[in-house]
Structure formats: structure tokens, C-alpha cells
Structure 1
Amino acid sequence: MGPGPNGHRSLADQLRSWPDERLQRLLAARPDLATPAPHDFGQLASRAAVRNSIARTLDGLTRGELSVLDALVVAGQTTESELISILSADPAYVAAAVARLMDLALAWESPEGLRALTGVADSMLGGGEAGVSGLRPRSAGRRDLVELEPVIAALPVEARALLDHVVASGGTAKPGTARIGLQPENTETPAELLIAHRLLLPGGSLQPGLLMAPGEVGLVLRGGRTTTTPIDEPPPLAAEARSPRLAQGAAVGAATDVVRRTETLLEWWGVRPAAALRTTGLGVRELKATATYLQVSDAVAALLVEVATEAGLLGTRADSDGNPVWVPTEQFDLWRELPTAEKWSVLARAWLTSARLPSLVGERGPDQKQWNALTPELSASGMPEAKAMALAALAELPEGHGLAAGTGLPSLVARVAWERPRRPRTRPDLVAWAITEAAVIGVTGADVLAPFGRVLVAGDDPAPALASVLPPPVDHVLIQADLTAVAPGPLEPDLARRLNQVADIESHGAATVYRFTPDSVRRGLDVGWTAAELHAFLLAASRTPVPQPLSYLIDDVVRSFGRLRVGVASSFIRSEDEAALAGLIGDPRAVGLGLQRIAPTVLVSNVPIDVLLPRLRDLGVAPVVEGPDGVVRVGAAEPLRARSPRTRDAADPARAAARQSTHVVTAVRSLREGDEEARNRPASASAPGGGVLSALREAIERRGVVLIGFTDNQGVVSERAVAPLAVEGGRLTARDQDADADDPDAERTYAVHRISRVVPVG
């Protein structure tokens, strides 16, 4: 690779020479180049040089790859062997990095040598600041390093110290009172001496009013290298060995837990919808109620709610009063019939591709307002990448190894920072949240990537891998005399669902412990269980005899259940037990209910029935609803459902990949057809699809001169020979070839829309 007959006249020519497969890889890696499909290779090369497109592509490079590109910018144009000589890296790494940069059209092979694409320097330097290495591009004269070494070696101590400081500080300095244009023997200060030896040069249009140390000076100071440390060594992860059995057990337990709790939550919200905020978010009170119901922290409850929504299992609809509420979608009914492993696969995939930030729920934003779960603004585009990269780093660890306690997470943050050094400052938080959430979801256990988690990270379906390590479901429990029931393994879905209606989960693990309480039994009666059905269910579900205390508990709750009957008056309370009504009126906690006795067995209230019922239950009584005909209304309410959302491409990687592949193939075909048509057009810029920009950017790449035809403000059409320097913001910056070299007005700007034709000169 290098100067000679193998070079190309322009980037467009190089792209034109590529086979279709390589073009497809380019468009897949830089999808903005293919939308809409470019008309010809000139337009493709023009798009590749747009600053925003370059910046997006740079964001996907590692620190090592950026260092190679930075060295190419510093060198200006060079050969691969020369590039290897100025980099602290293994030659094979540099060669691979150069190949990737060329595949991304960030570098191309000109007849004079390997060059960075025009615009890369500005995107990397960030408006004049130093790049990855801290060095600036070499000067236009490209002074030889051998020539500079004795000059720098002979500098006085003060001048050498000043030069070292300027290079270490990014390569710029203010001239102050230093005079410019002196011979070395006439200088009086260290700065003037450096300027006289051209070790500091005027910043020009890039940095007006400043002095800059050219790249070759920095190379000499660093012994001919752009960096003083190796660029091809990513930071190691701090890891330690863990018990494989313990790690896998923790991951499996978390995975089954997430599935069970998600199902429990959505079934609950199907009959008792959660009110949605005006912003469609979930209120603090609703989140806390959810956390209490699921027996988890607010943070875990927020994560479960967010993941269920991302998986398409949760949505909004209007309730009977027209208010928006959160309820399960129609998709939930299909999901809950799946095996546990497949249920988890749906949730895990949704989590992995989600940009949501449930870890911020409860925190305050810049406006000091508290973040709510399901708020649309609570997301970050970098979150999916942070998850993928953090888990990919864990996948590199040997089997049975996880992040070391204390130092593991900082080392993971450093690794991800090396992989994507241009990403936002919030990266440490994103990585930390990703690891925390992965443990809750069950992708990891004890900070070790689970076997089925590795399958997930690889992009395959993790359900078979998880199913192979899940214990078989059991169809029974062991009821004990202390009013608990032990499930010796994961229960069959129907048994677990029914048991959750009449018992509370006390502890999780290999064996789940359920506890029967008056409240849990009353909850079963509220949804339609009868005493006979409860006794029969427990007798059939338990492998041990039903203890007498549990039978007594059920009978006691049944006797008190329905003692009070609530109706609409706004509401009324009726009971044959006059003492119970008297006790209720005398209860100081019932003052706010507006109770009034209108008969020995009837009370009325000015509180609506939907408020009165839960308030009475809070007081420890167990009312039931009585209809207008006097019949008690007990039974399970018809669950509410929202319409299932359309499947997002992000949640279906296979669909997204297929769509992108088809688009790329179509774009390449369009390129070939458009290029054939372009061969029959003149090199002027009359071609559709931005021929002016394509011709100008091609001239910039080959550093050529063009004849432009443009219309001035008076409508006069004229021609001028110029050397294009940059195209940005709809304006061309070019050097007038007819102006004197020292003319400060030699660089001029032209509105691109006023340029009618561009013809190469020579």
C-alpha cells in the first residue's frame, strides 16, 4: 500500500473499484450513506465526507483504531510501513486497523500514499484541539524528522522546556509579545527562537491568533512515535473465580423470579389497572403499591414495569371513566402460555435492546422534578450499546469467572471507555446500571455471565439453553402446621397462579415458601373462591395433610367475610350484625367516611363505593358488594386488556437485520446503475442528486483545482479557478488561484446553491 500505480485519483474511484460485497459492508456499517440510496459513487464519496457522518463513524471506533487514524492525520499522507514506524503497536494490529479504516471510507489510497478522508481531521480535532495523541497534523512543508532532530537538540534549556510544554498542552500557545519573522540570531526570547526555527507556526484560519506546534515536532519530542504508550492493549478486566454452581443457581433463580413477578404484576393490573399520569408515566404511589405487592424494592419494580412495556406486554387504554390506565396487552395472554424459558427469552431480549433508564426512577432531573417510571423522556440512546458492550466484556472472561469485588466494575468501565472513547460522559453510570439490571433479569449470577446469558449476548435464542438448566416444574406443595406451604421447585403455571391468589410469597430460592394469612385468604374470597373450593384446592395441591390450623383460619375468614354489604347511596353499608355497625361508627379511623345510621342494620356514606371498599378493608373488615337486587357480587372481574403494540425492529433483531440487508443490496444496485449513467454526463455539476457537492468534495480529496461557474448577488454569471478547501453548512471555502499567495483575501467563500458547474482543471 502506498504511492504508485495502485493509488486512486479520488475516494469515488476507490469505491467504484470495490466489489459489491465490500460496498455492502460499508453501507451496513455506515447506514446514513445509504439513506436515501445514492445516485452514483461521486455522491457516495461526498456523503462519506460530511462531518456529521464522519463523527458518527468515529464514535464506533476503539481507542486503538482512533490512535491509528490520528497518526494518519498527523502524518498527512504516508505508507502503511511508515505508519507502523510511528505507532507504538504490533504491526499486525496497525494493518488490521488500517484495513478497517479503509473499509469504513475514513481513509483511502491516493497515488501519493495512504490518506485520511478530508473532514476526519476537523472531526477528531474538535475545532482546533489536539487529537487522540495530542499532536497536530504535520506542516505543509513536511519537514524531515532527521532534519529537525539536531535543531531541537540544540535548543537552549528554556526554549526546549517551552516547546515540551506547548506539545504536552495540546500543541497551541498564545504568541504574546513574541515577534514573528526574525532570524534565529536576532531573537531575544525562547518563544521567538522557536518561531524563527519554525518549531511554532501561525495557526492560520484554523486557530487565528495562536501558534501551533506541527506534528513533526511532536514526533521528534516523542522519539518518532505519536504516543508514548502502546495503543493496542485494552485495559484488563479485574476478575476472580466463582463457584459455577453458585453463579448458575443465582442466575436461574433470578430468571425464574423475573418471569413469575412479571406475570403476577400483569395479572394484578388486569383486574386492578394502574392509573397513568398525564405524561403516560406511572405515579410514585402506584409504583410503591406495585413494589409492595411484588415484595421488591421500588427500583426492581420500576425495572419490571419498564421491561414488560418494552416486551409489548403492557400498554395504556382508557378505563370506564375515560381515564388512562396501565393494563396488560393482548400479547400478554399469549406470552403467559409459553414455557418459562421462552417467557424469559422475550423479557431478556426486550431488556437488552431497550434504551430505557429505570435506574433513574425516583431521582430528580435537571428541572428538579422527580423521574417517574414509564415517562417517555426517561431513555438514553447509548444504553443498548452500554449493555451489549458490558456483557460482551464479561463474555471474554473464562468460564466461572466474574468481576472482582470492588475493582471489577471500575475495570469494566475502563474497558468500555477504551472500546468507545468518544461516547458520552454518562458511560460509567450506564455501565453500572447495565450490570445491576443484568443481575436482576438473570443474565448474570454473582457477576458471572450465565451460560444462557452468553447465548443472549451472541444474538441467539437463549430459551433452549435456559430450559436445559431449569428444574422440571412440580405439581404439588408441602403444607406445614405453621400456615406455610413449601414448593419444592418451580410450580406449574396454573398451580402457581392459583396459589398466588390465596397465599403470600414469604421467601424465594430453590424452594419457594408461601404463607397463608387472613388477608391472603380474604383476597381469594374477593376474586370468587368459596370455602369449599379453597379446602378442595389445598387438599388436592398438598402432598401432606392439610393442617387443622389452616382449616380453622379459612373457616374463620369465611364467617366474617361478607358481614358488611356495601351499595350505592352514594354508598350504603348493611349488616345483620348491629354490633358490628355500631363498632364501625364508633371507630375514630372511620370519621372521614361520612357514615350515618339510618336503620339498625343500615349505614349510608357520602363516599363513593370505589373509595369506601378499600377504606373499609384497611380498617380490618371484609365487606362484599351487594347489587340493587340484594345479591352479593363476588367473583373475578373481567381482566382489562390494551391493544398489543406493533413489534419494533429493535425488539426483533432478525427482522431489523433482514430489512437493513435488503436496503443495502438495493442501494448498491442503484449505485452501479447510477454510475453507468454518470459516465455519460459531463464532469460539470448538472447531475441530479447533488453533483456540485460531489464534484467539489472530490476536488478537495485530490487537492485539485476546479473551474466553478457561479452567480453573484447582482445575478451576473462568471467563472473562477479555485482550489476547494472545505464544504460545510452550504458554503464552499476555496483559495482563488488568480490571487497572490500572500494575499490575505486569497481564501474566499461561495454559496454552494449559487454554483452552477464544476469542471476539473488539468
Structure 2
Amino acid sequence: MRGEVPVRAASFDSLSASASMLTSRFRSEPALRGRPQKYTEPVRTRLARMPQPLTFSAWLASAPQPWFTALCETRRDLMRTDAPSLRAVAAAAASRAGVALVLEALDTRLLQIAHRAAVAARTEPVVPAGVLGATTADLTRLVTLGLLWPAFAEDAQDPTGASAYRIHSEAVGLLPTSAADRRSGIPWLEFPPERPADPAPLTVPDALVGNAEAAAASALVGEVLAVPDTFAAEPVSQLVSGGIGKRDVQQLARTLGTDTAHTVFLLELAGAAGLLGVGGPDVDPQWGPTSEFDRMRSAGRAETYVELLRTWLLREVDTVHVLAGRTDRGDRLHALATLVSPTRHNAYAGFPSSKPQLAFLTSEVLAALAGLADDLPGRAVHDAVLVDAVRWDHPLLAAAAPASIEQIVREAEAFGLVCTPLASPDAHALTHIGLRVVGGLREAMAGSLSLVPWDAERVTLPEDLTSFVDSLLPALQTTVLVQSDLTAVATGPLDPQIHSELTRIAVVDTRGQGTVYRFTTDSIAEALRTGMSAQEVLALVSRISSTGVPQPLTFLVDEAAARLRRVQVAPARAVVVVDDPADLEALLANPALVPAGLVRVSATVAVANVPQDRLAHLLEASGQPTLRHAANGPVPRAPVPQRPAPVSRRSTRVADRSLPAFIRALRSSGTEEPAEAPASVLDVLREAAEDRHPVDVVLVATDGTRHRAHLLPTHVSAGRVRARRLTPGRTGTETEVTVGISRIVSAVRSPEVS
């Protein structure tokens, strides 16, 4: 590229060029030394001595046909049947949304070049080529994206060799271009100019890859189905603000035998899949399983796995946010809260993204891992390198924080999409399932017309994935070995239904291909409290045990039942039954049980005006253990939460087969630049703000009417202009106003000087 020079960190102090350099159209070396020269003449006087810079619409009209065609093919978002003119294309490209979309699609190298151009454009609308520090390939990409264009007409035939460039004014407002913004610390400004690569990739043996993906896929299905089943045995009350509390999450983690982070992941996955819902009385809504849980539990494991995987790829709740208790924007967040009250607000503070950020980030993490591993299974990449690569590819993606990326990797490992070398837990490799998923996503997104080739509606999995997963899953065990040391051993993956029943009376002692369950005094007592009788506990053990019921377990069950036999709670909203009338007298006189509203109906029976579970909690809190009677008949299921219906979008984008004819029609639609083009409006306003010159504008009101205004712009950024509204011929009547650029139809410099 002509005039290319290295760019140093201090080069921002030399972005204001001398008047002689401006007159010679920036042909000389632009890297000035020391502090920039201070000009005393107005900006418009200096610009008057230069050739008039090209606006974007003028560049579109004068661009060589190959460059114009390349831009149209790259910016398919601008090729719309309802905007069949150069004026409309230029307006859409210069709009805030159009510029934001391009910036979002840039990797770190191109974004740093665009940032240098935007910083320079704060002081002059024309940016010297040497300031950019870009190669020919970089300039080609930025020009075809419609973000940069040659500043002068004589350079239009060779855009990559131009002496100076222009950038859309909206980029100046969208990017951190002020000195204060740059001092606040911007991570992607410190990123290296080249994409990171793993200097020492590791290799995972294929046998280990196969074992890891099969074990993870089998375990995940059982763990997710265990969550609603646990809620069925012990419903959890919903918080007033939605979701469930931390104590309930911790209790569920102890029941499942997992850590809190993995439990939150399982909760959100089960909720997003429709397995959990809120039911019960209005005064005490409770979380419980839905009918969708019954359907999924009866389906095949491979089908269930694929359904859960697609749900995970499209989920919207970041596990990191739930663990922290709030989003990046500061909004409070509990587990399952968004299932009841979906929020439309972006959970991530930062650059406005046009994609669902977490779902998009999940696909990009898997794609980046495949790229670093050369699409080979078992080739492990260090997590730190993967984090750097994802953030380098998408520097403006607010969701791409190291903690969120690492959590996605852990969740992918739970699905069996990735595995880790035994000696290096900080590295991960794609499994055969993971590579199939990445390949399916690539194929699905290949036909996307979006500038960022990802679309939630196109997220699909390979058709043969179900059969492939089914071939990997080991056979399920339907019996366990119950031993006299009060343990039950599953020699392989246990049927989810058997696991669910067994965890009601035992706790998981050791997990793995062979899971060990342990019967304890507390686990048996908890089963009896939730409605099982001693005979039902022993019958369950006898049915699932291949070695019978050992005598020590029989003694343990009988002893636990004897301790809980004095007071029993029966469902009737609710009924208290005691053996001794003196026990009922003590309960009626207990101040802690006043909220229960107990009313004696006989010497040993009283009724309460609270549900059975609430009464049992009050009794236990007062120091009185209870024994509950199970309700007759099936437990009613909670309704499946209703998700907002997907928005039906009608696209006016030009189809592939019609694109060549549409491009020819654009070039023949006229080359005269409209005076009210958005690029021209922004240029007039920015130049007027720089030299404090009033402008006459035409504004569109909310009802569509137009009126004129006499303004003195003071600041132009972020799609708005802040100005003082002037009344010609009168003084002391100025008012501060802020107007959106989209409301300004035209703007011309006023002959009256302020």
C-alpha cells in the first residue's frame, strides 16, 4: 500500500496534519513528531482550499464496477427490494445500525484499524492512509464492507492505494474514540494483531475420547432427568421475585451429589427444556416437574440427549450470571427466574449486539476449538489459548468474557462434546460428537445472508447424530448390588427411573461408570418424612436389588420408622393426627404453630388452613418431627412454562438469483448525490460543531410533519446532535436541545455566523 508506515501507541498525538499536508491531499509522510500544530483559522476555511471529500453515496456512484459488485455481495443486508436506489443503500450503510453491524463483524486486527480511523476522524473528516497501518488485504476488506472509502475522487479507481480515507461518522460515536475512553482501558486495543495459536497442542488417545464422550452423554441425561424428579419428591417454593433461592440450589446440589455450578447448569437446562414449571396454590406457588418431563423420561436416551443439546445451544441464560446473582448490567438473577419472567433486556453491558450473545458465543467457542485443532478429534488446545482466540475473533462481543467462555467449555464437557487429557485438565479437545455438532452448525449457517454468519433459526444438528449417540451409549443397568455395609453398587449406567427411586432412600457416595449409593439414617428418615412407609422402602430395595435385602438395612429402616411414628401429617390442607391427646394439646398451645391455624376436630385429630408441606415445615421448625401421609393418586404436574412465540420475520433481502440484476439496477438508478443523504447531514453537523457555525435543519415530528429549526451544534455522536436552538433576530432565547439524526431530513450551513 502506498504510504504505509508502522503505527505506534503514541501515533494518536500526530493525527492532526499540517495545513500544507492537507493542501497536498496527504501525499507526504503523515507521521509527525511532537505535539500537533494548533490552527487558528476555521476548519471550513482549511477545507475550502482542498478538493471536496467524497461522501459515501458519491463513492458508491463513482466506484469501479468490480469494487461496487464486491461491496454489494458482501453487504447483503443492504441489498433490499424495498431500497432499490443508491441513496437508500448509502442511507442504510451510514445509519447507526448499519455501522454497528459492520463493527460487530470485525476481528481484532480490522477493528483496531477502524478504531485508528475513527480517532483520527474526530479532528478531521479525512484520514491519512499512513495513520491506519493497514495492509492491502485489510483495506480491501474494510472497503468492501462499506466502512472505509477513498476520500478523494482521483483515488476512486484504486481504493487500496488511496492517499486518504473516510469513515462513517457513526463509527466515531460507537467506538471509544475520546481520550477519556481510551484511558479507561479497552481490552481489544491491547490484543496482538494476529490470531493466537496454540504452540503446544496435546493429543488425547482415541480410546480415551470414546470413553469420555460415551460416559458424559449417558451421565448428563440421567442428571438432567434427576432434577425434576427431585422436585417431585420435594417441591420447592418459588421466590416472590421469581426462580428459586440459593439454599434450595445448595440442597439440590447435596441431593444430586454435585457442586453448585454444575447444579445451576442442570437447573437452567432442565428449565429451558420445559421439564420444570410452577404450579400449586396461588398463595404458595411451587416448582415441580411438567408433563414434558414424563414424555422425555419415556423417550430414548439418544433422543433425549439430542433435544437437550439443541436446547443448550440456544439457551439465553449465562450460568456465570446465575452463580454471581446478577447480570453484567447489574440486574438481579436467581436460578430459573427467567423461565417465569423472560426478560427482553440484554444481560450484557457493552457494544450493542444483533445476535443472542450467549447462544452465538457457544457456537463460536466450539468453532474456534475446531479451528485451533485443525478439525481433528482428540487434539487438545489449552483453555487460555482458546479464550484468547475467541476474544480475538469477536472483540466487541460482550458475552466473550473469560469466565463465560470457560463455563461453556465445562458445560460442553458435560455433554461429551469435548474431553481433556488426563495429565492436563487445563486443555480440551473435541470428541467425535463435538466435531459432528460443529460440522452440522457450519453446514446450517452456510446459506445465511447475514454479515455475521449465525442465525438462531438455522441452528440444527446432523440428522445422523441421534443414531451415532445411541451407538455410543452403554447398556443401562436395571438392578444394583445391595451389600451388608449399607451400600448399593450399580456396575454400569443405571436406568434413570431406578436412579430416581434409589436417590429417594439413599445418597450418592461415588459417581462414575459404577455408581455407589449409601443408605444412611438421614436418607431413610427423609424418605419416610416425604410419604413413604417402611414397608414401601423395603419393597423398593427388594425390587431393584439383585442380592436381596440385607438384615442391617432392615434394622435401619425399622429404627428410623419407630422414631417418626408419634406425629403424622395427612394431606387435607392439612390434617394432624396424633396417638396421644396430650400431644395434640401441646401442639395447639405452641405459639410457633399459630400461623398454621390448627383447629381440633377430635381428641387426636386437628385440621390446619395451610398446605401439608407448609404445616410439616412449621412442625419441624418447632422441634416436632413428623411423618407424612402420601396423597392418593398421581401427583399433579406443573404446567409447561409458555415461552414467547418466535417473532415472524419477513425478509426483503434480494435472493441470490436476483442479485446480479439488482446490482445493475442500482448503478443505473442515478449517480447524483442527494443533498439530504445521511452522510451529508452528519458531515454538515460535525463541521458546524467544530467551528461553531449555525445550521438550518428540517426536522420530522412524530406525526410526520416537517418544520425548520435554526441550530448551533455543540456535539455530534451516538446518532444524536446536541445543540442550542436559536431564534433569528432575538437574543436571550436560546434553549438546549438534543435531536436524533434520523429526524433530520436536511442540514445546510446558515449564512448567519454565530
Residues 1:623 and 2:668 aligned together: no
Residue 38 of structure 1 aligns to a residue whose secondary structure is coil
Distance 1:757 1:540, change over 3 A: closer
1:354-388 deviation per Cα after TM superposition (whole angstroms, max 9, x unaligned): 34232233536599997522345793364334433
Structure 2 CA distance, aligned partners of 1:425 and 1:624? 47
Partner of residue 677, structure 2? 693
Structure 1 match to 2:229: 267
Does residue 455 in structure 1 map to residue 436 in structure 2?
Answer: yes
Q: In 2, Cα distance between the equivalents of 1:357 and 1:528?
A: 36
Work out whether 1:642 is the aligned partner of 2:617. no
State yes or no: 1:277 paired with 2:239: yes
Query: 1:49–1:521: structure 2 CA closer, same or farther, 3 Å change rule?
Result: same
Q: 1:569-608 alignment to 2 at 5 Å?
A: 573-576=576-579, 578=580, 592-593=592-593, 602=604, 608=610
The alpha carbon displacement at 1:694 in A equals: 6.3
Residues 40 and 675 in structure 1, CA contact (< 8 A), matched pair in contact too:
no
Q: Secondary structure at the match of 1:574?
A: strand
Scaled by the length of structure 2, what TM-score is found?
Answer: 0.62
The match for 1:331 is 292
Match of 1:390?
A: 365
Partner of 2:409: 435
Specify the alignment match of 1:118 in structure 2.
Answer: 167
Quickly say closer, same or farther: Cα 1:550–1:648, change in 2 above 3 A. Answer: farther
1:354 aligns with 2:403: no
1:141 aligns with: none
Q: Residue 336 of structure 2: SS of its match in structure 1?
A: coil
Per-residue deviation, 1:393: 2.9
Indicate yes or no: 2:109 matched with 1:106.
Answer: no
Question: Among 291, 295, 301, which residue is 2:253 paired with?
Answer: 291
Q: Which residue identity is paired with 1:624?
A: R
Q: 1:737 maps to which residue?
A: none
Amino acid at match of 2:293: F
- The answer to whether residue 391 in structure 2 is matched with residue 402 in structure 1 is no
| Mapping of residues 468-507 of structure 1, within 5 Å | 468-507=471-510
1:418 matched to 2:392:
yes
Aligned pairs for 1:594-743 (under 5 A) are 602=604, 608=610, 609-614=612-617, 621=625, 623-625=627-629, 633=631, 636-645=634-643, 664-665=653-654, 692-693=676-677, 696=680, 729=719
Q: What one-letter code is carried by the residue in structure 1 that aligns with 2:402?
A: P
Asked whether the equivalents of residues 271 and 639 of structure 1 are also in contact (C-alpha less than 8 Å), the reply is: no
After superposition, the Cα gap between the structure-2 partners of 1:560 and 1:128, relative to the gap in structure 1 and judged at 3 Å, is closer
Does structure 1 residue 304 correspond to structure 2 residue 266?
yes
Of 487-496 and 559-568, more deviation after overlay is shown by 559-568
What is aligned with 2:29? none
The C-alpha deviation readout for 1:397-451, integer Å capped at 9, x for no partner, is 2543434xxxx44333332332223444972333233334434454333333332
Instruction: Please give the alpha-carbon distance, in whole angstroms, between the structure 2 residues aligned to 1:717 and 1:551.
Output: 90
Question: Match for residue 444 of structure 1?
Answer: 418
Q: Distance in 2 between matches of 1:315 and 1:569?
A: 23
The code of the aligned residue for 1:482 comes to: D
Instruction: State how 1:492-531 maps to structure 2 within 5 Å.
Output: 492-518=495-521, 520-521=523-524
Q: Which amino acid aligns with 1:282?
A: I
Query: Does structure 2 conserve the Cα–Cα contact (< 8 Å) formed by 1:312 and 1:647?
Result: no
- Structure 2 vs 1, CA of residues 709 and 74 (structure 1 numbering), >3 Å: closer, same or farther? closer
- Change beyond 3 A, Cα 1:321–1:442: same
The alpha-carbon deviation at position 300 of structure 1 amounts to 2.3
Identify the residue that residue 314 of structure 1 maps to in structure 2: 276
Larger gyration radius, structure 1 or structure 2: 1
Cα distance, 1:118 vs structure 2: 3.4
- In the TM superposition, residue 326 of structure 1 has moved relative to its aligned partner by 3.2
Mapping for residues 83-232 of structure 1, pairs under 5 Å = 95=137, 97-98=138-139, 100-107=141-148, 110-114=156-160, 118-119=167-168, 122=172, 126-127=176-177, 231-232=193-194
**Inter-CA distance 84–26: structure 2 relative to 1 (3 Å threshold):** same
Q: CA deviation at 1:469?
A: 2.4
Is the alpha carbon distance of 1:644 and 1:465 closer, same or farther for their aligned partners in structure 2, counting shifts above 3 Å? farther
Query: How has the CA–CA distance of structure 1 residues 375 and 13 changed in structure 2, closer, same or farther, with 3 Å as cutoff?
Result: farther
Unaligned stretches of 5+ residues in structure 1: 77-81, 135-168, 171-226, 626-631, 650-655, 686-690, 701-707, 719-725, 734-748
Show the counterpart of 1:216.
none
Question: Could you tell me how far 1:471 is from its partner in structure 2?
Answer: 1.1
Native 8 Å contact 2:195 2:389 kept in 1? no
**CA separation of 1:394/1:682 partners in 2, compared to 1, >3 Å: closer, same or farther?**
closer
Q: CA deviation at 1:130?
A: 12
The SS at the match of 1:509 is coil
Partners of 2:593 and 2:212 in 1: CA distance: 48
Q: How far is 1:486 from its partner?
A: 1.5
Distance 2:387 2:547 in 1: 52
Give me the whole-angstrom Cα distance separating, in 2, the residues matched to 1:332 and 1:450.
28
Q: CA deviation at 1:511?
A: 0.8
Q: Distance in 1 between matches of 2:502 and 2:131?
A: 71
Deviation, structure 1 residue 119: 0.9
Work out whether residues 173 and 717 of structure 2, in 8 Å CA contact, stay in contact via their aligned partners in 1.
no
Are 2:277 and 2:638, in contact at CA under 8 Å, matched by a contact in 1? no
String of CA shifts for 1:486-541, please: whole Å, max 9, x gaps. 22222234333433344332221011122334554566667776666655554443
Which SS does the other structure have where 1:421 is aligned? coil
**Cα displacement (A) at 1:61:** 1.4
C-alpha deviation, 1:54, in angstroms: 1.7
Q: Structure 1 residues 475 and 697, CA, compared in 2 at 3 Å: closer, same or farther?
A: same
Q: Secondary structure at the match of 1:59?
A: helix
Matched-pair contact (CA < 8 Å) for 1:527–1:636: no
Identical pairs, percent: 24
Q: Kindly state the Cα deviation for residue 48 of structure 1 after the two structures are TM-superposed.
A: 1.0
Q: How far did residue 58 of structure 1 move?
A: 1.6
User: Residues 402 and 449 of structure 1 are in contact (CA less than 8 Å); yes or no, is this contact kept in structure 2?
Assistant: yes
2:145 partner letter: L
Q: Deviations over 1:196-247 (max 9, x none)?
A: xxxxxxxxxxxxxxxxxxxxxxxxxxxxxxx999944535366434455445
Instruction: State how far apart, in whole Å, the 1-side matches of 2:195 and 2:330 are.
Output: 42
Q: Pick closer, same or farther for the CA change 1:478–1:638 going to 2, 3 Å.
A: same
Partner secondary structure for residue 402 of structure 1: strand
Structure-2 separation of matches of 1:731 and 1:60: 26
Find the aligned partners of 2:323 and 2:707 in 1 and give their Cα distance.
63
Q: 1:494/1:368 Cα in 2 relative to 1: closer, same or farther (>3 Å)?
A: closer
Q: Which secondary structure does the structure 1 equivalent of 2:364 belong to? A: helix
Q: Work out the number of aligned pairs and report it.
A: 591
Q: Is the 8 A contact 1:531 1:554 kept in 2?
A: yes
Shift of 1:679: 6.2
- C-alpha contact 2:85 2:669 (8 A) present in aligned 1: no
Contact 2:278 2:638 in 1 (8 A): no
Tell me which moved more, 307-316 or 560-569: 560-569
Report the residue type matching 2:485 in the other structure: D
- Where structure 2 has 5 or more consecutive residues not aligned to the other structure, the ranges are 3-55, 122-127, 151-155, 349-355, 421-427, 442-460, 685-694, 709-715, 724-738, 749-754
The verdict on how the C-alpha distance between 1:412 and 1:327 changes in structure 2, with shifts beyond 3 A counting, is: same
Structure 2 residue 89 is the aligned partner of structure 1 residue 44:
yes
Residues 1:11 and 2:15 are matched in the alignment: no
SS of the equivalent of 1:361 reads: helix
